Amino acid sequence: MSRKLGRRFFNRPTIKVARDLLGCYLVRKIGNKVIRVRITETEGYIGPNDRASHASRGRTPRTKIMFGNPGYFYIYLIYGMYYCLNVVTEKRGFPAAVLIRAVTLKNNNGAFCPRWDKKPAGDFGAKITKTDGPGKLCRYFKVDKSLNNKDSVTSQQLWFEGGKLLRTERIMSGKRIGVSYAGVWQHKPWRFYIKIRLSKRRAH
């Protein structure tokens, strides 16, 4: 059994948290269904000077969450259509968070619709479904602002659990996505993802 990640896990340097979250589980409870998915991609947003981070604009009603307690969720609407799920890191007062960019689902069994505004897409079967983006992820998981500023350490609806340790050579890093406006900060290699073994699933 996996253990729920506690306050200490998040109260650490953001890069460490972002790396360590890879391979861990994000757990969502909807009704009496519990869905556990594996985190495969994260990004760190670190400190008051990181221009890619919302917190670089200072403390506002929105960003104050990033200045708050580690382990809390920071969720916001982007492009008018999608939610992004972050978890606050580092000590209170230092604005930082990790964006959960992608997860994989096993044996989904149709528990989630690809879109909440359309009919269920049926049985995903034993296929591994990848949600390859923060917006999609929230859509699958029915994550919205009702979970914003909630504590992942105590939440009964959405939380993190530890996973198997990954070999360090399977952890890749690169530039963050979609932050080209951020000057020198756009080049920081603060995106982390698990190297995928090439599975030939070309539908020929």
Partner DNA sequence: GATAAGATCATCT
Partner DNA sequence: GATGATCTTATCA
Contact residues toward DNA (CB under 7 A) are: 43, 45, 52-55, 57, 60-63, 66, 74, 76-82, 84, 86, 97, 99, 114, 132-137, 176-179, 181
Nearest-angstrom CA–CA distance, 147 and 78: 16
CB nearer DNA, residue 133 or residue 162 = 133
Nearest-angstrom CA–CA distance, 30 and 23: 22
Rounded to a whole number of angstroms, the minimum distance from the CB of residue 183 to DNA is 11
Rounded to a whole number of angstroms, the minimum distance from the CB of residue 48 to DNA is 12
Rounded to a whole number of angstroms, the minimum distance from the CB of residue 63 to DNA is 5
CB nearer DNA, residue 37 or residue 137 = 137
CB nearer DNA, residue 34 or residue 178 = 178
Rounded to a whole number of angstroms, the minimum distance from the CB of residue 187 to DNA is 14
CB nearer DNA, residue 68 or residue 169 = 68
CA-CA distances (angstroms) from residue 54 to 48, 65, 96, 159, 194? 9, 11, 9, 23, 26
Rounded to a whole number of angstroms, the minimum distance from the CB of residue 11 to DNA is 18
